Structure 1
């Protein structure tokens, strides 16, 4: 059982939207809902805030360390596939630094690039193993952790991105793509899927052939970043002001 749990050649094959996959999506929804629902209680409790922050940090650190230990133990660590140069690996490391330093610049990047990339990974995983394999558990723990780190800073620490933050995140992604693209060219890798699409189904399948899907990603990123900003901050703020205005009017009639 233990050997099959870690075995690189495990028979546990991942199937998108299987029961195991849907459970992970449900876990993300439930944890996000609980954090939102309990946000005011957590904000009032300094110990709870600190505990949640460090638990998320610990989860992110251990997920990255355990992944590399697994690569080494299975004899599959490779410079072409195992460096932390995938978008979610990079945003995971940035999320750790964001939580440790409470940097608003890193928050702008992790909120937009982190949530968008990790949510895509949760919904359309580039994954070979299903439950109960180690890689399945590590994959979803890491990506859910990235999303929760951004939600924590938003709902518990009351950080707010601006429209300028979207530009910062887009500039970051383009600079990162240039750097990682150069590394791919030098070492023959495909980090961030800059050289070709993943072998498993993903949103990239809808964006045209290489290299045109790289251009399409610019528009998709801008669209998703804008939707995130609208759904999480602009519309709730508008609704709050609208409700207060109507409440004031109602009171004036009494």
Structure 2
């Protein structure tokens, strides 16, 4: 069966890290995040009905990203129970972030916020990807991971589900609970979802964390440090500064 080159799972240009398309993908993701931040206050003023439609549309789009990926696996004859199930951390974050958009669950937000953003961010910077632009897989990969970050930040900045130190703990619990379940699946299927049995073939941050199984412990430490820094730098410090400004204005009055 012949495939158009942009869909071919076998004959495609290999992905090159930090190539121009990769830099464009990272830059586009960063720009969308910046725009969301800049327009967050305006979006809050939109009627609840409008925001609900926007959340549903984004959730459907995110679920569609996974659906079309599964269709591509089947269409290309590369679907496998060992590699194609949505059991990677980012695949789980994608699906659960879509659920979060639909339910506005504070528990789900607390569990996903730092795990989803950190995981998607690392995937965008160091992708485990074998296809270069303009292949379907390249576009789907970066679109899906950017959507994870945008959905979680939208729920934080616009819907105002505010994180706390409990969110750091919640994200750690989510990652470890998911890893435990996925590891059982890995053993049963002889798979390597979430890279719990060996490192990916492509370069990644795991290369700096030592050999198996030490890199898994390294991931635990790295996750805790990243989640804590994200909370302190992007939420705790800005919130404290905002409170000081408010207090200063009140004193002046």
The aligned counterpart of 1:134 is: 136
- State the 4+ residue runs in structure 1 displaced beyond 4 angstroms: none
How high is the TM-score relative to the length of structure 2? 0.95
> Residue 4 of structure 1 aligns to a residue in which SS?
coil
Q: Report the Cα distance in structure 2 between the residues aligned to 1:87 and 1:130, rounded to whole angstroms.
A: 22
> Residue 6 of structure 2 aligns to a residue in which SS?
helix
Q: Residues 59-208 of structure 1 correspond to what in structure 2 (within 5 A)?
A: 59-208=61-210
The aligned counterpart of 2:227 is: 225
Whether the 8 Å CA contact 1:49–1:156 is kept in 2: the answer is no
Q: Report the Cα distance in structure 2 between the residues aligned to 1:68 and 1:139, rounded to whole angstroms.
A: 12
Report Cα offsets for 1:115-161 as digits up to 9, x if no partner. Answer: 01100000000000011000000000100000001000001100111
Alignment size in residue pairs: 251
2:9 is the counterpart of 1:8: yes
| More displaced 10-residue stretch of structure 1: 167-176 or 141-150 | 167-176
Is the alpha carbon distance of 1:133 and 1:170 closer, same or farther for their aligned partners in structure 2, counting shifts above 3 Å? same
How high is the TM-score relative to the length of structure 1? 0.94
Query: Deviation at 1:180?
Result: 0.8
Query: Deviation at 1:2?
Result: 6.9
Query: Deviation at 1:28?
Result: 1.1
Whether the 8 Å CA contact 1:84–1:90 is kept in 2: the answer is yes
Query: Deviation at 1:55?
Result: 2.9
Query: Deviation at 1:48?
Result: 4.4
Q: Report the Cα distance in structure 1 between the residues aligned to 2:12 and 2:110, rounded to whole angstroms.
A: 40
Whether the 8 Å CA contact 2:6–2:12 is kept in 1: the answer is no
Query: Deviation at 1:43?
Result: 0.9
Whether the 8 Å CA contact 2:113–2:152 is kept in 1: the answer is yes
Whether the 8 Å CA contact 1:60–1:96 is kept in 2: the answer is yes
Structure 2: stretches of 5+ with no match in the other structure: none
Query: Deviation at 1:52?
Result: 3.0
| More displaced 10-residue stretch of structure 1: 180-189 or 1-10 | 1-10
The aligned counterpart of 2:58 is: 56
Whether the 8 Å CA contact 2:111–2:173 is kept in 1: the answer is no
The aligned counterpart of 1:31 is: 32
Q: Report the Cα distance in structure 2 between the residues aligned to 1:190 and 1:31, rounded to whole angstroms.
A: 32
Q: Report the Cα distance in structure 1 between the residues aligned to 2:204 and 2:57, rounded to whole angstroms.
A: 30
